[in-house]
Every structure is written in structure tokens, then in C-alpha cells.
Chain A
């Protein structure tokens, strides 16, 4: 299934040759990945990104493989990103969303998993509102499980695409000051990013109201503050996290207006950062809450690049977990 040698559309096999596979069944979180594995995914994603820039954006790496996207929470963005990635790798994909499956009839996650497993998919991409749902699935299923976000635990492909985007701009991760501002308590994006960035040697600052900072955050190897100006000063990267509107009801902060006044990322605050700072947001954004529109749409924003890079990173993850080898990728 090799393409003719030397076509300009060929992925950069020099990178992929080093990239054999992730020697693990699942991608449940960043916490258990080594720095080598993270680098492997990011390097592989570079080759995959080139596939996305071809006129024919498809390689046969996962031909004949079945990938199930099992989404218990609505997430158009993540699901479509995975689906495009799977299709570009020629996988057969099946989308199961809550509301269209028997889950609503009270079937347990374990039973859903066993039923799916009986159909022998190669991979299951799971999004679920319960932390650890992927671990439960992993214990039940022989299929590879990819965590597409579990509760407040992890969202590993988001952190990988964030790191990929940072690396594209800064050529490195080590030594960068990364400020992450927002709802730290409830964010799986935060947890995955903290694990990834601290492993790769970034100087990670996290910032939010004390009511939304998890217990013992210092043990994650980050600096926590509620002084947003301190977090932002000298930052190479500022990452904003979504503030869920219902948090007001939990008395985490008095009002969205007050949140924006104290923590919202405005052009004025941005001036304390490095001149070449990049602004990131995992989406979906609340304009005028965690981020001012001028910043979201301004020159420092790489938010849409994150979305584009999501496909390449997810292709890399799917490919590497499938045990891909160099000749298969270089279609």
C-alpha cells in the first residue's frame, strides 16, 4: 500500500522512522506518559499535519480498523476533530452519542462497553462526565481506549495539541513560562496540561479565584496564585480556561462581571507578558468572561490554530496506538 516514492505529498518519514509506536494499550491520561512518549506524539503529529496540507488528505494507516467514538457528553468540537483524524487515516468510524444509544435506558457503562466489545472495534474514543470512566472501560475492553475527556480528570489529546501549538510557535517547551488562568478546580484540560508541561520542563503558573483552585495544587509542581498580574508577567504563553456559567450557583464567585474584572484577559493585562506571547483557549470560549473579544481575535491569539492542530495530534495518537510502523504511515 505504499505510495510512489518521492512524491511531494509523502509525510516526512525521517521523523516517523524513529516513531514506532506507543508501547501501551490505551491513552488514558498524560500523567502516565513519559517525556519520550510525549515527544514521539508531537513529532509524529508534525508528519500528520503535512498530510492535512495535501490535496488528498488521506493515508491508509488505519485501513480496515474500526474506531468507535463513544460520547456521553455533547462535544461537537472534540468529536469532529477525532472523526476527521480517523477518516484521514482511513479508519472505519462509528459515532455513538448519548441519547441515541441504550445508555439512556439505564444500561451501565460496563454493559455498553461489553456490547461494543462484542463487535470487535480496534479503538474506542470515550468522552464521559465521570472521572475514571476510561479506566473502567480499559479494564473491560481489549480495544485501545483513547480518553477524549473524563469528568474533571484528564483530556490528554487537548494537552498534546496545546503543546504542539506552543512548540510550533516557540520551538520548545522547556523553560517557557506558561500561565493558565480560569476554573482550575473543574478543568480536565488543566490537569492534562499541568502534567504535560511540567514533564517537559515548562515553568507553569496557574491562576484563578481561591474557590476554584484544587487542594494541594503545589504538589503538581506548579506555582498557584490568585494575582493574575503575577501569573501573566513575563509569560510566553497564556492559556485561558472556560468559566462555566453555573459556577456562580456554587458560590465560587459572585458574578461573571466581577470574574471578568478580576481575572478576565484584557489587552491591558496582556502587556505584562512577553512581547511575543501567545494566547490559547481550549474552547468553547465565553467572550467577556474569561477573555476579552479583542484578545480572542487579536494578533496574539492562536486559538484557531489549536483547533487545526487538534486533527494532526489526534491522527498521531490514533496511529501510534494502533502500533503503526514507518512504512504504513508513509503511504
Chain B
């Protein structure tokens, strides 16, 4: 491993070390997180202060319109906000960065099963990012068909003009290829590379979450890849898979087919994004409550059950498409069934904290934050899953509020918890805890204000993609609320800058973190910083489960590492 000299290129750019690839994914994800966040601010500006010039940057960005966001640009904004946040921010952050970083370390492996495949996975993702961003250079602008890109909106016939949508499709296909490479790598790594003694039920729950995510990725990314290829053929060579009515020249296809294919993938995608968070915070709650995770096996099995059920329920996104009542009711039943296993591990989280000696560190605060926002997001999901309620709520701001609670809020909090927790392992220093607290409370308060009130807006009938709410008289009483949401979302943005400052400052500060600052039991804390290429000097032997805290038979400390044995 060591010994031979490494050039800058092989060490930092084309590295096959999973820890370096994790950092590359981290920076890619952070870049797009802020990019997508900036788009969100602009969308909120338009909704809060319709057709007023954007302060500071408006005249510079759109001089032709006097600094106003015009409807076309607005459509492009919410499209790219959704696409970037889901596929280019959350996916690289949670699955790319933390999947790469913690899977080999926590299972006691020297690296991924296929380090070169890992390298290709990142660079394919990078290529996909360049393709996606290049669409901004087009005179007609980038994609504007919504992140779901339903045809005919996304087809050239009667849809978004210009190449932007096509480039979007190509970028997503590349991103899918990258995800598939990652999935193969993660699954084989977990199956094959576990250290001796590391049974499946001794793996930390983070690894469980990431493992299940990879399985879902492996099963469902191919589905969307096929759908996107068909869409691309529609967009380029004139096939008519998804065109109907006047748009079709001959025998019509069916736009609903795309919706089916999209949501067969799209619903599991939600779980692809959130399963790592569930796993990570199940572990973190145990670490900072100094108690074994309550019902470890139940949590793991419940997560598996959710994974299985999530594959069966795609139709709940299509209740308003004229689906047959029989299908609709079946999808509703199966969807509501998911709340049972979800409630199981949710209660387990509370059980972990119950009577624990809780340390309110930054990662713990964010983990508790996940419990709150995921609880709200999950409960509001029941409304959307029920046909009768959904027919009214479909495509309103209620849905936006709901999925931002589950995806944006929960997943962001989970990512932050992970970053605060594993930062000492990645960069050898701890993030500043005072700035961390400011970051948490600022984010927590503003994010709840924003998304809770979005649901209120939706309940009043505010449609999710309208350009200018002031054009509808029934939305007039909501003008003030819209404005307040915008103000709080700007605040939310400001508090993320605190985090960025914290991250950059802490990375270069002198004070080193101790080797195991959180007194955690898992294997990634057993070596000195910087972790060498190859991770473990000798293969660790795993004797204990991942949550051995406060054991009564150990007197001098309240934890026992997974590779340690009690000497009585």
C-alpha cells in the first residue's frame, strides 16, 4: 500500500482509495447542495414577491427582463432545483460520500471490492454533472419539464423547446450508470469483504441502511434507465412511445406509460435516499444516548420490510390519472401498510433515547431533528396515500411540504449529522460545536416554518408549480404567508453559510481531534488519523455487536469496541 510514491494525480484526482473518492463525492454533493439551494431561494423570491426584480443579482442575471424571473426561467428553476437536489446533492452526499467512506471502514475491509469501478463511478458522475450544467449554456435554456419530466412536457413535440430537456435526459442516464456501478460495488463489498466475526446482525445499522439502499438502486435504477432511453428516443429520433392525441403522427403511444415507469423507480428512489439516514441516525442515537440501540434486530428487519414494501406501491403517485379503483385501492392499502414497519423503528429510536444519558452534541441534535421532521413527514404521507384526500391535495403545495419534510429536511439533517459525526475521521478535526448549535437551531426553526406553512398553503389550494400566486384571487389571503415562507427560507440559506464557514475553518484549524472523540464502538474509530490506504494494519476480529454501551460488567468506561474482548 504505502512505500511507493504517489503523484498528485493518483493521490487526489484519480485515486482508487475509497476514502478519497468519498471526499470527492462530498465536495461534488456540497457544490450542488448550494447550487440547488440558491435555486430554491430564487423560486421562493418569485413566490413571495411575484414579478419584482431580484435584489442584488437580478439585474446582472436577467438584464433583459429588468431583473425579474420570467416564467420560462422559473420553470427551469424548479426543474433544476428538484433534479439537482435529488440526483446531484443527496445521492452523492449520502450514498456517494458516506457510502464510500463508512461501508469498508465499518465492516473492517481494506477497501471496496472493486476500487477501480469506484473510481469510474465517481468520474461518470462527474461527467454527468458537466453534461447537466452544460445545458445552461443553451440559448433556449436548460430543462423545464419538472423533475419528473412527464411527456408531453418533456418531448419536443408540444413540450419544452430546445435541447435542454434532451441534455437533461442524457445527464440522468449517465448518473444512473454511475449509481449502478456504485450499487454493484457496495453490495459485493458488504457480502464479501466483512471482517471475521462481522455477521449480518453485527453490522452497524448505517451499513444496513446503505446496503438496502444499494439493493434498491440495483433493482430500480435499471427501470428508470430504460424509461429514460425510451424518452431520449422520443426526443431525438422521433419514436412515439409517450406521445398521444394530436402530438402523435401515427399510432399513438401513451404518456401514462412514462409515469408508470418513472414511479416504479421514483417511489423506491425516496427510500434509496432515506434508508441511509435511518441507519445512520439509529447508530448515532445509540452513541449519544450511551445505550444500546433499542431493538437492533427489529430495526434492521423493519428496514428490510420497508425496502420490500416500497417496491410495490408506485401507483400512489398516479391516483388522479384515471386509474381503476381496484388498482387505486390496492396501492393505497400497500402504501398505508408501510407505516407499520416505519412506526416500529421510529419507536425504537425513541426507545434508544429513553432513560439514556443523552449528550447534546451537534450530530445528536441533528439526529433528534431527523426524528421530528421525519415524524411529521411520515404522518403527512398518510394523507397523500389516501385516495380521497389525495384527489384534493394532489399537485398542491401540501405535497411539496410533505416530500420536503421527508426528503429535504430528514435527509439534509441526516447528512449533517453524518458530516458532524464523521468529520474527525475524514479530516482529523472536529467541527466547532458552538457554530454547530447555531447551525442546528437556525436550520431547525426555519426549515419547520417553511415546510409546515407550505402544507398550509397547499391545504388552501395553492398549486405547486404556479408562476405567480397573486394572479389568483382565491390565493390573495395567503400573500402574507407566502412572503413569510420566503423570508424564512432565506434565513435557512443564511444558516447553511454558517455551516460552510464552520466546515472550511475547522478543516484547517490546528487543534486535532482525539482518535475516538465520541467514544464510539464501531471499527472506523480504531486507527489513527490519517487512515492509511488499506485502512487496517491487520484484519480486525469482530467480537461484539455495534452498540455495546454502558455494559454493567465493565467498570472503567461505558463502551466496548466491536473488536475488543472483555478481560475479566
Is B one of A's binding partners? no
**Could you tell me which B residues sit within 8 Å of A by CB distance?**
none
**Could you tell me which A residues sit within 8 Å of B by CB distance?**
none
